[in-house]
Amino acid sequence: MYRNLTIRQKQIVWAWAFLAIPILFYTVIRFYPTGNAILISFQDWNLLGDRTWTGFDNYQTLFADPVFWKVFRNTFVYLLIGTPVSLIISFVIAYHLDQVRFMHGFLRMLYFLPFMTSAVAMAWVWRWFYQPVPVGLFNNALASMGIPQFPFLQSTTWALPSVLAPAVWAGLGFQVIIFMAGLRAIPRSYYEAARIDGVSWWTVLWEITLPLLKPTIVFIVVFSSIGFLRIFDHVFNMTTNNPGGPLNSTKPLVLMIYETAFSAFDMGYAAAQTVVLFLVLLVVSLIQLRILRDS
């Protein structure tokens, strides 16, 4: 039968044969569990017993839960501080690194190294940096200069920025590399023309570099936003004894989901939180793509 097909039809058959594997994979590993999670969010299930239908109970509990709103706010604080800060820092680094010739490869490697380091190891090292006297690096330095200790992880105000800092640092390497690739892709002739016209450094940056970097910026913004909305490993490892603490001030949505599912074994409630997270990610990504692509 295969023999009687035209060449074009044969190509289609082969295309489908190859496509079938990822499609099957995605159906089993992604779509089926996703659908199941949505189903469980309307049920009560402790992982061991039967599942029972509860309608919108889980969602009602969720929206009436003050911890959920606190956590929801934290998640957006991670996003709204983390994304712009890491975007600006990585652009500044990439812009200058691009012009450096001396030990260029070595410097680039130094910036990329944190990205390759295990987040767990990094979080624990920073956790120890932040400890009070006598073990914390930062506080020991402060104390030796006669300055009072700073309550990095022990303060409801400062714990979140303290957790965020290493997370931003860890992601920088990747963003710097992407920015540098974007910068290299801008044709040199534009810059030469600008130099002949004698325009200022600022105009070159504002009128040539940034507009032509737009696709790169869109990619990094969307990518890092999703990353900060899903932040978990840094928070969990820096606050393991009191996850998301103190007083839930660092707890992101993903950590709340993890605790509901695997400490309280309230799978239905955890699934409802997952569905909310999924919708948030979807909406945020769509808005960003819209805003940044237009105009």
Binding site for another protein (CB under 8 A): 28-29, 32-33, 36, 40, 44, 46-49, 52, 127-128, 131-135, 143, 146, 148-149, 153-156, 241-242, 245-247, 259, 262-267
- CA–CA distance from 32 to each of 23, 38, 43, 152 (Å)? 12, 10, 17, 42
Least distance to another protein from the beta carbon of 128, Å? 7
Cβ closest to another protein, residue 44 vs residue 98: 44
Distance in Å, CB of 81 to another protein, minimum: 21
CA-to-CA distance for 221 and 290, rounded, in angstroms? 12
**CA trace torsion 264, 266, 272, 274 (10° rounding):** 50
Q: Quote the least distance from Cβ 145 to another protein, whole Å.
A: 10
| Dist CA 37 CA 34 (whole Å) | 5
Would you say 40 or 221 has its CB closer to another protein?
40
Q: Of the two residues 112 and 158, which places its CB atom closer to another protein in the complex? A: 158
Query: Which one, 50 or 197, has the nearer CB to another protein?
Result: 50
In the complex, the smallest distance separating the C-beta of residue 156 from another protein, rounded to whole angstroms, is 6
CA distance 273 to 72: 10
Q: Give the phi and the psi of residue 44 in degrees, each rounded to 5.
A: -110, 125
Select 53 or 191, whichever has its Cβ closest to another protein: 53
Q: How far is the CB of 193 from another protein (least distance, A)?
A: 57
Distance CA(262)–CA(258), nearest Å, equals 6
Which residues 6+ apart lie within 8 Å of 61 measured at CB? 269, 272
Pick between residue 189 and residue 263 the one whose CB is nearest to another protein: 263
Q: How far is the CB of 49 from another protein (least distance, A)?
A: 4
Scan for tokens 């330095």, then name that residue: 141
- Name the DSSP class of 43: E
Please name which of 117, 146, 153, 116 lies closest in space to residue 247, comparing C-alpha atoms.
Answer: 153
- Cα separation values, 56 from 49, 67, 142, 232, Å: 20, 19, 52, 27
| Token pair for 253 | 């949505």
Written as one string, the DSSP assignment of 167-189 is HHHHHHHHHHHHHHHHHHTS-HH
Q: In angstroms, give the least distance from the CB of 133 to another protein.
A: 4
Contact 173, 113 (CB under 8 A): yes
Closest distance between another protein and the C-beta of residue 4, in Å? Answer: 37
Q: Which is nearer to another protein, 32 or 56 (CB)?
A: 32
